[in-house]
Structure 1
Amino acid sequence: MADFFSEEIIINILQRLPVTALLRCTSVCKSWYTLITSPEFISSHLHFAADCKKRTPFLLLRRRGGNSERYYLNSDNESFAQIATFEFPFRSINSWFTIVGSCNGLLCLSDDRVYYMHTVILWNPCIKKSVLLPKPNLIYSSYGSFMQILGFGFDPLASDYKVIRITYVDCGRGQPQVELYRLSTGVWQDLSFLALEYVIYNRSRQAYVNKATHWIARCTDCYDLIVLFDMCGEVFREMMLPVSLVDIGPMRSKDLVVYMESLAVIEWSVLGQEAGFCVWVMNEYGVDSSWTKHFSIDLHEFGGGYVRPLWVRKHGDVITVWQDGHLIAYDRDDAEVKDLGVHGSRCEDYLRSVHVDGYVKSLVLLEKGSCFSDAVTRSKLPALRTDDCDSVGSHGSDCEHSSESGYKHGHGSYGGLFVRQ
């Protein structure tokens, strides 16, 4: 084909193809393989997919079924149709992996829910390639009990994927240790000199927006705020929450999400007279005064019961998981609920394992060749022996139970949130 079309035309045609078709195209000839696996083409294909407004965006859904994790790709439209099912090839010493975040088709997974195994994986389920990160510097055998927070994102200036790790020792007193993993170098770098002054809440969900990873944290003056790590500048900064969310009671939780490429926060509770949730959106990034309440839902109007919000869709609906395991979307315009056709279990482990995140199909990691694959990652994962790890202590177990069984994040308490190995 190169004899009839210029390389520019070939690239223009290929970058419009879906990932599955491009993987088949790598077998056409050596020149196509070289082209499709080049970092330049992978980047242009990703940008084309992101800029194509006519395509329906995707949502990644993770559920726990039996003894395994199940990952699905669904369309973020009225039908919520299932597009694909991803085989999950990794083993966990816990019931399931923590999904740290999703960025450009890569998922960052951490095996740290109860037993901490230092297992952090970057995984592209579309092309079945992954990389197992090396063991970080701060581990239990050297420092004792600690709490870790992970963040994942992309540095567009360096074209590099990065994982930031923040570890608190001594019950959160003093400066935490900060480490940064860059995919380009494959090693952890100590950035503790950045002197982070806040305690990020354990299990705080990250939101990657505007080239930065964001978490909800607590400052020394005992009020909540947003702490972010700039993936390009590699520095920490802070943002204010909506004024009404700065200091709320322990019975209400806050989760950061991404809504239409904007930073958003869901405040929610499943108990008492205030059972319900509201969504706030930062309309202009970095401008505290631009926070706007998107809408609020009073769960008593829908019969009450346990409901946990998971994601804000592009149309503004909020995807939630109900106490019977169903996924339900709350429509803010019509003030009604819609069954998304995903039915699960009332089992507590199932309800806690359900995760929804934005997703885009990509070829990221394809340029790494055969040395990066799920098979290689599986062979490097630690054996499932309990003497290789340890769980949280007795006080930590009580705290984990009280927060998770109530489907809370333990906001406002640092005791008992430390994991050990």
Structure 2
Amino acid sequence: MGSSLNQQLFRMLACSRSSSSSTAGRSKSHGRDMFLRFPVRSYSRFRCVSEPWLPLVTGSGFMESSVKASNGLEMADDYTNHNLLLASTDPFVINMYSCSLHSVLHNFPVNMFDVEPPKRAGYPSLYLMGSCKGILCVLEGCEDIILWNPTIGHLKKLPNSGINHHSYKISTRGFGYDELNDDFKVVEICCYARLGINRETIVNVYSLKSNSWRRIKDYEGGIISCSPGVFLNGVLHWPATHKDGLNTDWSILSLDVSAETHGTTLMLPQCENGFDDLRLGVLKGRLCVFCNYYRHEMHVWMMKEYGSNKSWCKFASIPYSQNIPGRILPLCVSKSGEILVKYGDSLMLFNKADDSFTETEVKMDDPASLYEVATYTETFVSPYLYDDVKDQI
């Protein structure tokens, strides 16, 4: 495999050197397409092996092609180009690891790779706010936001939004791609609530293209959950609640990333009362609600037809085990129907047919310290997409 890749690299190098000026444009486009067929981890070698190749793998044309190519990678249901990112702390040192999601789901031998955390300010905590097209949105500490592609090592610290987060009781973020305007965006929502009544909710949107924040119309529908927004179909989603006395009504706030407007409120499924935690997620490309009845079970509801409140169906009921401590968080579903879950400090496969759990082959130096897990695709897409300078922070 390695020798075959090297032979292809040398053939491409020879072609790039022999190209005439009349065919330069055509050769550059062909070269970009060829690079996109190689494993993404070969990126660093492409940058170093030849000076003519450098603009091919750093120019705006290559990045635009990478964004388009990432669409197919994210939709593939075999997870061939998907990875798991795992974060642990011991106790003030953050360690990160990456492994193939495809290998985990198919019980293949799992190779764990050390990943350099995207730390800049020295905070002892990192929180994963979501991933899109290979870029992860990372919250460092309470306020600093970083866009980071761990596969190619590019990261960008965002400018401060200007909000004093200590003045608000609830702060949450969401990350997604604006396909209409070819832009990546981060949404920040801050709520000030007192005695269960929403007093003020402000919404700020960061545009990677303009590298700036702007405030949009405030949300007046209720109090937003502090869990990260879930991105699907060009829309970010959060659980939201209206509190009136002792009654609590939950719904789903939707925000269109392209239009930057609050969309139609989606209703929650008919969850049984008594859940202590409510989260959203995406499984099998569909919006899901995770109703957690801690130490009893988790109900996973799936919206079969996006936007249709009548299409909610219960996809799974995942029981808690007396022998496994911690909470359950579903991550993805394999082709065979098994659900990969973060269960406390472990990664396990849940079989709906017999309600059984199977340990995965993911082995960490200190699995008891696992606190964050995210899935992402391996892509060439860089947070430097609209920057003139490629070697920034």
Aligning the two structures, in what range does the TM-score lie when normalised by the shorter sequence?
Answer: 0.7 to 0.9
Deviation at 1:155, TM superposition (A): 0.4
- Which of 105, 112, 115 is the matching residue for 1:86? 115
CA, structure 1 residues 218+238, in 2 after alignment: closer, same or farther (shift >3 Å)? farther
Shift of 1:371: 4.6
Q: Is the 8 A contact 1:322 1:328 kept in 2?
A: yes
* Corresponding residue for residue 144 of structure 1: 167
The 1:25/1:372 distance shift into structure 2, 3 A limit, reads closer
SS in 2 for 1:169: strand
CA apart distance, 1:209: 0.5
Paired residue secondary structure (1:364): coil
Question: In structure 2, do the counterparts of structure 1 residues 194 and 338 end up closer, same or farther at CA, with 3 Å as the change threshold?
Answer: same
> 1:317 aligned to 2:338?
yes
Residues 238-257 of structure 1 aligned to structure 2 (within 5 Å): 238-245=264-271, 248-249=273-274, 251-257=275-281
Question: In 1, Cα distance between the equivalents of 2:43 and 2:96?
Answer: 25
1:62 to 1:92, Cα distance in 2 relative to 1, 3 A: farther
User: Alignment partner of 1:174: what SS?
Assistant: strand
1:264 is aligned to: 288
Task: With the length of structure 2 as denominator, give the TM-score of the two structures.
Answer: 0.80
More strand by share: 2
Go from structure 1 to structure 2 and tell me whether the alpha carbon gap of 1:94 and 1:24 turns closer, same or farther (over 3 Å shift). Answer: closer
Could you tell me which amino acid in structure 1 is paired with residue 119 of structure 2? F
- What is the alpha-carbon distance in structure 2 between the residues aligned to residue 72 and residue 135 of structure 1? 29
Instruction: Tell me how far apart the structure 1 counterparts of residues 94 and 112 of structure 2 sit (CA, whole Å).
Output: 20
Identity %: 21
Displacement of 1:150 in angstroms is: 0.8
Unaligned residue ranges in structure 2 (runs of 5+): 1-14
Q: Does residue 348 of structure 2 align to residue 328 of structure 1?
A: yes
Q: What does the per-residue CA deviation read over 1:134-191, in whole Å, with 9 as the maximum and x for residues that have no partner?
A: 1212215xx7354211111110111111111111225363231211111111121121
Flag the 1:248–1:371 CA change in 2: closer, same or farther, 3 A: farther
Conserved in 2, the CA contact under 8 Å of 1:71 and 1:88?
Answer: no
SS at match of 1:71: strand
CA distance 1:177–1:240, shift in 2 (3 Å): closer
Q: 1:145 to 1:230 in 2, by over 3 A?
A: closer
Displacement, 1:343?
5.0
* Cα deviations by residue, 1:191-224 (Å, 9 ceiling, x for unpaired): 1x3443221112x232111011111111356311
- Given candidates 141, 149, 163, the residue that maps to 1:124 is 149
Please tell me whether residue 224 in structure 1 is matched to residue 253 in structure 2.
no
Q: How does 1:178-257 map to 2 (within 5 A)?
A: 178-191=203-216, 193-202=217-226, 204-220=227-243, 222-245=248-271, 248-249=273-274, 251-257=275-281
> How does 1:401-416 map onto structure 2 within 5 Å?
none
Number of the residue aligned with 1:62: 86
Unaligned runs of 5+ in 1: 378-421
SS at match of 2:41: helix
More displaced stretch, 217-226 vs 88-97: 88-97
Is contact 1:319-1:329 (8 Å) kept? yes
Q: CA RMSD in A?
A: 2.9
8 Å contact kept, 2:349–2:357: yes
Query: Number of residues paired by the alignment?
Result: 357
Q: Which moved more, 1:254-263 or 1:143-152?
A: 143-152
Question: C-alpha separation between the residues in 2 aligned to 1:57 and 1:18?
Answer: 9
Evaluate the alpha carbon distance shift between residue 56 and residue 346 of structure 1 in structure 2; reply closer, same or farther with a 3 A threshold: closer
The change in CA–CA distance for 1:294 and 1:119 in structure 2 (over 3 A counts) is same
CA distance 1:22–1:343, shift in 2 (3 Å): closer
